Structure 1
Amino acid sequence: MKKVADLPFYCASLFDYQRRSTREVRVGEVGIGGSNPLRLQSMTTTSSMDTAATAAQCLRIVQAGGELVRITTQGRREAINLEAIKSELKQKGQDFPLVADVHFNPNAALLAAERVEKVRINPGNFADGAKKFREVAYDAESYAADLAEIEDKLVPLLDLCKKHGTALRIGANHGSLSDRIMSRYGDTPEGMVASCMEFLRLCRKYDFHEIVLSIKSSNTRVMVHTVRLLVASMQAEGMAYPLHLGVTEAGSGEDGRIKSAVGIGALLADGLGDTIRVSLTEDPEAEVPVAALLRDYVSGRAGHAPIKPVVDFSYSPYAYQQRQSHPIGLFGGGQTAGVVPDLRGCGALMSGLLRPEAVIVDAVDSNLPEDWSGVQRWVPVAGNEGFVPTQAVWPLLDVKTYLADRVASGPKVLEISYVDLQPELLGRLKTDKDVVLLLKTGHQNGTAEQRACFFALDKAGLSHPVVLHRSYTDAVAGEFQLKAAADTGLLLLDGYGDGLSLSAPAVPPKVLLDTHFGVLQAARVRFSKTEFISCPGCGRTLFDLQETTRKVQARTGHLKDLKIAIMGCIVNGIGEMADADYGYVGAGPGKVSLFKNRELVVKTLPEAEAVERLVELIKESGDWLEPK
C-alpha cells in the first residue's frame, strides 16, 4: 500500500458537494453506485432458521423503506435456509434482494451465493478464522502463504458469484482484523484498508467486479478516517467500487442515532457512500427512517451556491489532528470542547440539566437555573447598550460593531461567517487576541463553508478559539439531533472547533442541551456520560440484546467517562470493544462472558447473574460511584 502522503485526495472537492463517481453494482434488481440514489438497508435479528419470523421481519424492513435486507448466515444450514426464506417472501408477492452475512465459514458463503443476490464476507475472518489477539511474527514467506490460502478459498466463491450473478460485499470491521494483518499494521486504519485491498486485488486478478466495500468501527473517528483512506487507496490503483457506510455497534435511543449521524453524515458530506445502514440496538425497521433522513438531508446540498475555495490549505483527513488555538477563559488552548447553548427564544429552563460552560442569552438578567451559578453569559451588544462586561458576562458582537471599535477591552465573542473574513477583519484579529469566534453559517452546505473558514483562519495565521454555531429554527427533537450531528460531526472529528453552540427554539431545552453533549461525545472530543457500545443484534445473538442493554444502562448509566460494551456474540465483540473498559459478551445460549480492558475475567456466566456480576466487577476495579 502506498504511503498516505503519496495517495490521491479522497474526494473531488472539499468546497463543492458532489457524489463520488463509482461503477454500478447490481444486486438483483437494485443498482448500487453509478447513477443510482443512495440505497437503504437493515439486517434481521431473528434466528435464520426461523423462516416465517425472518421473512416477516424482512417485510417490515422493506415496508419501512429498506431496499436490501441482510440475514446472518452462520453455517451450511442457515445458508440453505435462505432459499426457504426467499420462497416465503415470493409467496407474499415480494422479491427484493437478500444479503447473506457470513463470518468464519467460506463453505456457507458458497452455498449462499447460489441462493441470494449478495454475500457479505469479512476479510478479517474469511480464511483466517476468529481473531485471537495473538502477537504472531510473520516473515515475508509466511505472510505470502496466508495470502495464498485466502486466494484458494476466495476463487471458488468468485466463480460461483459470476455464475449466479451474485454481488459480493467485502466488509472489514475494526474489531475483527486477522492476526496476520495485526502483525504488520496493528489495530490501525492502515490495517483495515490493507485487509480490504488484498481482497480487491484478488478480485481484479480474476476479473470479478460486482463488489461493494465497507469499513466499519464503533469509533466514529476511526471509521471516518479509514473510509477516506480506503477511497484514496482504491483511487491510487484505479478502482472505483461503491461504498456501504455504517457506524457499527452505535447503541440505541438518541445516543445511537447521534453517533450514527456523526459518522455517516461526515462521509456523506464529502459525497462518499452509495448504501447505508444505521446500526441500532432496536428493532431493525426502526433503523431505516433514520437512514432515510440522513440521506435526504445531506443529498439536499446538491447544486448549492458556490463556496470560495481556499488554496494551499493544510488538512489531515486520515488521522485526527486538533487545530491549535490559544486559550481565552475556558475556550481554546487544548481545553475540553465547551458547550454553549443558544437559548435565545428558548423555553424555561429547569434545574438538574447538564451544566454548560456558557450560554447565549438575550439580556444580562436572563434567568438561568439556580444550580448554574458560574455559567458565563454571552450577551448581544445590540439591544443591550451600556452593559458592563465582566468575567461572568461577555459581550457578543457582530463584525460591523467590532470593527467600529465600540466595545471595551477584555474578552469578547465575535459572530462571524466565512464571507466576513475580509482583509480589514483579518488585520484587526491579528492584533486582538482576546476574541472567541462564534462561527455561524446560513449556507445550504454549511459544513463545507465552515470548514473553508477554518482553513482560511489557519492560512492567515490566526489561532483564536472557535465555537461552532448552527441554527435549526423549525426542527423538532429527533430531526434536530440528526441534523446537528450530521452538520458538525465532520468538523469535530477532524479537530476543528473549541466548542459547540446550537440553536433550536422549537426543541425542549433539555433536548437542546443533551444534544450538545451527545454530539461532542459521539465525535470523541468530550465524554460526559457512560458510553455504551452495543451491537444491533442478529441471528447469532445469544440473549435478548435490547432488554439486556436497558438493564446494563439502568445500572451503570451514571458512571461518567466509562465505556461499556454489550455484544451479542463473538464475531466482532472482543475487537469492537477494544477501547471499552468493560465488556458483556454472549458466550453461548443463556451464557455471558465478562471482560475488562479486553481481558476475559468471568467465563460463561449464567445470563441471569451477569448484570449484577458486571457491577461487582466495576466495583472491584475501583471504577464504581454510587448514583446521586
Structure 2
Amino acid sequence: MNYFNYKRRLSSETRIGNIPMGGSNPIRVQSMTNTNTNDTEASAEQVIRIVEAGADYVRLTAQGVREAENLRNIKEIVRERGYDTPLIADIHFNPRAAEAAARIVEKVRINPGNFVDRVKTFQTFEYTDEEYVQEIEKIRAKLIPLLNICKEHHTAIRIGVNHGSLSDRIMSRYGDTPEGMVESCMEFLHICTKENFRDIVISMKTSNTVVMSQAVRLLIVRMEKEGLNFPLHLGVTEAGDGEDGRIKSAVGIGSLLADGIGDTIRVSLSEDPEFEIPVAKKLVAYIKERENHPEIIAEASGKFSPFSTDRRETYTVGNIGGDNLPVVISDRSQGNFELNSHFLPDYIYVGKELPIAAPRAIPSIIDIDGWKAEKNTYPLFNKSNWEGIKGNNAAIKFLQLSYPELDNDIISLLKADTSIVIILTANHLNGVGEQRAFIHTLMNNDCNTPVIPCRQYQENEDEDLQIKAATDFGTLYLDGFGNGIMLQNEGNISLKNIDAYMFGILQASRIRTSKTEYISCPSCGRTLFDLQTTVAHVKAATSHLKHLKIGVMGCIVNGPGEMADADYGYVGAEKGKISLYKKKNLIEKNIASEEAVERLVQLIKDNGDWAEPEK
C-alpha cells in the first residue's frame, strides 16, 4: 500500500447480474429495503425508489423460506416496471432461506457468524482441535449445497462478517477482535475456493470505525498471502442518523476508500433507505477526485503500522500532545464569536489581532505580527517568519506548515524546541497523502512534535462538509496521527455547526467523546418497531448523558453483539416488544414498546449512570 499516493486496489471481478463488481469497474453503491419482504407491493415500490436514487444494487432481508420465495414476486414487479438492477437477499440463521433465494436473486449475503453456528450467547466454550474441525465440517455440509445452487443460477455470494455476530466458537479462540473477524471470513472463503466458487464479495462490518479499518486491512493481507483478491463491500453498521451517521460512515468508509480499498459501499443510516444513496455517491465522488494526482514523494516510516491502534508518540505542550485528548481549534478570524455551549473549542484562532469581542476564557491564537503576549494568547508563525520562534518565549508556539515547506532547518528547529505545535495544512489534491507524508517524515527524523491537522473547504451544504472533512481527518486519526483538529470553511455553514462537526469527527474516530453516542441500525424488514421514531424518543430522553453509549437495534440479529460496546441497549424482541440490555447482559425481556423508553431511563438510573438534564 502506498500511504501517500492514491491508487485503487485491484480486485478480481465478481458477476452480479448485469452489474459486475471489482476489477476495473467503478465503485458501486447500494442500500437495503426496510419493508416487510412479504409485502410485495411495498417492497417493490421501495426497491424502485432506491434504484431511482442511483443505487447499483438493492438488498432485501429474507428471514425465512417464505420471505425468500416472495423475492420472486418482488423481482417480477420490479422487472415489469423496467428496472434490471440486481437484487440481493440478506440471510441470517437460515441456510434453507439462502438456498431458496439463490434461485431467484442475483446475490445472496450470508453471515458466517450465524449461517450454521448457534445464536450468539456470549458464553465461553472450550473446543478441542478435533471438535473445532468437526464444526468446520458442519459449515461445509451446509455451505456446499448453497454453492452448487449459486453455480447453477449464476448467483454471487457476499460473505458478510459482522463484528456483532461472531460465533461463540470464533470468540472462544480469537476473542472479540479484528483477527476473529478475519478468521470467520477465511473459514467460509476456504470452502468456497476449494469448491471452485469465485463469484464472491466480502465485507467486514462493525459500528467501531477503528475495528472496521483494522479488520479490512488484516483481511487484505491474509488474502494476498493466499493469492486471493476478492472485491470488498464497505460499511459501518449501526452508524445512526443525521450528522452523526454521515460523519461516522465517512470516517470508517472514507478512510479505506482513501487508500484505494473498496469496490462497493453502503452508508447505513437510520433513515429512509433512499436517503443513503446520495450520501454514498458523494463519498465515492470525493475520493474519485484524487485520481491521477501529482505524485507525492515521501518515505514511509518503519515505526508505523496500519494494523496498530497506537497513537503516534509526541511530547506535551500545555494541554496538547502526549496523553492529552486532541484539541479543537475554531477559526474565528472573521470576527464571529457566537459559540455553541455544548461544543466549546479548546482554542480559537482570531487572525491578525485580538478583538475586543473575543471570549477571554478560551485561549486565543494570534498571528505573530499582531501578538502582544496578552494573557491566555499564543502566537502563530508560518514558513515566512518561522525563525522568529527562536527568540520567542511563549509557553506554546504554533507553527503553520505544509509538507512542501518541511525542510531540514525546520526539522532541526522542531527537535530543539519542545514548545512548538504544528498546525498542518495541505493544498494538494490528495491532502490526506500530503499530510501523511509530513508526519511520516517527522517520524523518520525522530521528531515528536505534536501535530494538529488543518483542512480548508469551500462548502455551502452541511452534508458535503461532513462527508469530506470526516473522510480527510478520519483517515489520519485512524492512522494514529493528529493531536487536534482545525476545520476551516469558506461557505454558508455556521461556525457553531463547524465546531460541532469537529467534535463529531473526533468522536467517530474514537479519540474524544463529547456527546451521547447512539449505535442505531438502519432498519430492514426484520425491524420490529418504527426505528426512526424510536431513535428520536430515546435521544430526547437521554441525549444529555454525554458519558454513555446507547444502542437502539431493530432485532436480535446483530443487536447484542454490536451493542457489546454500548453501555445500554434497546432491542426489538418481537412485534411490539422490547428487550433492554446492560452491556451484553439481558436485563428485561418483552417490555411493551410504549413503556420501553421509560424503562430504559429507569434502568440507567438504577445503575447510577443517570444525571438530570441542565435547565
Q: TM-score range by the shorter chain?
A: over 0.9
Name the CA distance, whole Å, in 1 between partners of 2:309 and 2:607: 31
1:377 to 356, 359, 364: 364
Match of 2:580 in 1: 594
Name the CA distance, whole Å, in 1 between partners of 2:340 and 2:251: 29
| Counterpart amino acid of residue 545 in structure 1 | L
Name the CA distance, whole Å, in 2 between partners of 1:611 and 1:147: 41
Match of 2:195 in 1: 206
Q: Please say if residues 415 and 449 of structure 2, whose CA atoms lie closer than 8 Å, have aligned partners that are also in contact.
A: no
Total equivalences in the alignment = 612
Name the CA distance, whole Å, in 2 between partners of 1:530 and 1:368: 31
1:623 to 602, 609, 612: 609
Match of 1:408 in 2: 392
Name the CA distance, whole Å, in 1 between partners of 2:75 and 2:168: 36
| Counterpart amino acid of residue 555 in structure 1 | A
- TM-score, length of structure 2 as denominator length: 0.98
Cα displacement (A) at 1:457: 0.7
1:178 aligns with 2:162: no
Match of 1:467 in 2: 452
Match of 2:252 in 1: 263
The aligned runs of 1:202-281 (5 Å cut-off) are 202-281=191-270
Match of 1:113 in 2: 102
The aligned runs of 1:311-326 (5 Å cut-off) are 311-326=300-315
Cα displacement (A) at 1:348: 5.0
Name the CA distance, whole Å, in 2 between partners of 1:350 and 1:247: 31
* Structure 2 gaps, min length 5: none
| Counterpart amino acid of residue 402 in structure 1 | W
Match of 1:101 in 2: 90
1:448 aligns with 2:433: yes
Cα displacement (A) at 1:344: 2.6
- TM-score, length of structure 1 as denominator length: 0.96
Cα displacement (A) at 1:272: 0.2
Q: Please say if residues 330 and 357 of structure 1, whose CA atoms lie closer than 8 Å, have aligned partners that are also in contact.
A: no
Cα displacement (A) at 1:474: 3.9
Cα displacement (A) at 1:158: 0.5
SS of structure 2 residue aligned to 1:546: helix
SS of structure 2 residue aligned to 1:349: coil
1:260-282: CA deviations, max 9, x gaps?
Answer: 00000000000000000000000
Cα displacement (A) at 1:406: 7.3
Cα displacement (A) at 1:319: 2.5
Match of 1:6 in 2: none
Match of 1:493 in 2: 478
SS of structure 1 residue aligned to 2:184: helix
SS of structure 1 residue aligned to 2:296: coil
Match of 1:7 in 2: none
1:477 aligns with 2:462: yes
2:419 to 415, 420, 434: 434
Q: Please say if residues 335 and 355 of structure 2, whose CA atoms lie closer than 8 Å, have aligned partners that are also in contact.
A: no
Cα displacement (A) at 1:475: 4.3
Q: Please say if residues 360 and 376 of structure 2, whose CA atoms lie closer than 8 Å, have aligned partners that are also in contact.
A: no
SS of structure 2 residue aligned to 1:27: coil
Match of 1:3 in 2: none
1:510 aligns with 2:496: yes
Match of 2:287 in 1: 298
Match of 1:25 in 2: 14
- The 1:470/1:351 distance shift into structure 2, 3 A limit, reads closer
Cα displacement (A) at 1:313: 3.1
1:179-228: CA deviations, max 9, x gaps?
Answer: 11001100000000000011111111000000000000000010011111
SS of structure 1 residue aligned to 2:525: coil
Name the CA distance, whole Å, in 1 between partners of 2:301 and 2:482: 21
Match of 1:548 in 2: 534
1:215-253: CA deviations, max 9, x gaps?
Answer: 000000100111111111111100010000000000000
- Which shifted more, 339-348 or 327-336? 339-348
Cα displacement (A) at 1:402: 1.2
Cα displacement (A) at 1:350: 4.3
Name the CA distance, whole Å, in 1 between partners of 2:453 and 2:420: 14
1:394 aligns with 2:383: no
- Which shifted more, 15-24 or 474-483? 474-483
Name the CA distance, whole Å, in 1 between partners of 2:48 and 2:362: 51
1:534 to 492, 517, 520: 520
| Counterpart amino acid of residue 389 in structure 1 | A
Cα displacement (A) at 1:129: 2.7
* Structure 1 gaps, min length 5: 1-10
Name the CA distance, whole Å, in 1 between partners of 2:280 and 2:460: 17
Match of 2:346 in 1: 357
1:577-617: CA deviations, max 9, x gaps?
Answer: 01100000000010000000111111110000000110011
Name the CA distance, whole Å, in 2 between partners of 1:108 and 1:323: 48
1:3-28: CA deviations, max 9, x gaps?
Answer: xxxxxxxx3x1111001001111110
Identity rate, percent: 50
2:563 to 577, 589, 597: 577
Name the CA distance, whole Å, in 2 between partners of 1:568 and 1:525: 28
| Counterpart amino acid of residue 392 in structure 2 | A
